[in-house]
Amino acid sequence: MRKEKLCIRTPQIYDWVRRKVELPTIRFTELDHRDDCGCNKGENDPCKIITNSKSFLVKCFLSDANGDELNPTDKHAFNCFAYPIGQNISTTLPSGQVIDLQKVKVTISGFIVIEIINSFGFTICISIPIPFSTTQIFTLCLPEGTFPICEITSFKCTTDLVCSKKKFDHIDVCIKLYIDIQSITNIKLQIDGVSCTARSDIEIDLDDCPSDLPPSPCPKLSPS
C-alpha cells in the first residue's frame, strides 16, 4: 500500500514527574459496628474469631464507595485531580539555564476494605469501605495552553492486626502510591502513513456437537 501524508491530532507531553507517596499509617483502635463478622454468631471481634485458627490472612484492597473491589490499574479506580495554584518558581537546570516552573496541587482519594480470610480461603470478617485521601504539591513545566493531568500507576495496601489477650487492640493500614503528573496539550501532526480500513470477518465454525462414539472400554481386570 502506498504511503501518504496524514494529519493527526494527538496529545503531546511537555513535562512528566513521577513520585512515590506513602500515606501516614492509618490506625484503628476501635471496631465499627457495621463491620461484618456476623457469620460467626454475631461476634464482632476478629481477634476472638481467629484465636483458634491455625492460620489466617489480613489484607486490604481498593474498592468503590459500596465496598466492591476495584482493579488499581483502572484509571477510573481513583479520584485524581490536578490543578495549577498560580505560583511560579524559578529553578536552575544542571546546564545552568534558569526556567520557571509552576506549582500544581494534586488531590487523590479512594476507598479500601479490610478483609480477614481463614486457612480455607473463606472470609471471616470484612470491613465497611474506609476512605483515604492525600494532597501533594508538584512543580511542573506548564507552558500557556497546556494543562496538568494525574494518574496512579501503582497501588499497594498492607495491614497489621494486633490482638492483646485474645481481644482486638488495633489495626494499622499502610498505603503506598506512585503518582504520575504530566503537562499536556493536543497538537496536530503530519506523518507519513497508510490509512487503515477494517479487515474482513473470519468465519469460525462454533458448532461443537458431542461425539456419538461410545467411551473406550476398560482394560480386562478380572481373571477369565
DSSP letter assigned to residue 185: E
Q: Are 111 and 132 in contact (CB under 8 A)?
A: yes
Q: Region 125-130: what's the mean pLDDT? A: 88
Of the ranges 38-42, 105-109, 130-134, 178-182, which one carries the lowest mean pLDDT score? 38-42
Burial readout 52-77 (b: 16 or more C-beta within 10 A, e: otherwise): eeeeeebebbbbeeebeebebeeeeb
Give me the mean pLDDT over the 78-106 stretch. 89
* Res. 51: pLDDT tops 80: no
Could you tell me whether strands 79-92 and 26-28 are parallel, antiparallel, or unpaired per DSSP bridges?
Answer: unpaired
CA distances (Å), origin 208, targets 47, 201, 203, 212 = 52, 20, 15, 12
User: Model pTM?
Assistant: 0.74
Q: Cell 502506498 belongs to which residue?
A: 2
Sequence-separated (6 or more) residues with CB below 8 Å from residue 221: none
pLDDT in tens, 8-32: 899 999 999 999 999 999 888 776 6
pLDDT tens digits, one per residue of 149-176: 999 999 999 998 888 887 888 889 999 9
Of 94-103, 113-122, 139-148, give the lowest mean pLDDT range. 113-122
Confidence of residue 40 (pLDDT cuts 50, 70, 90): very low
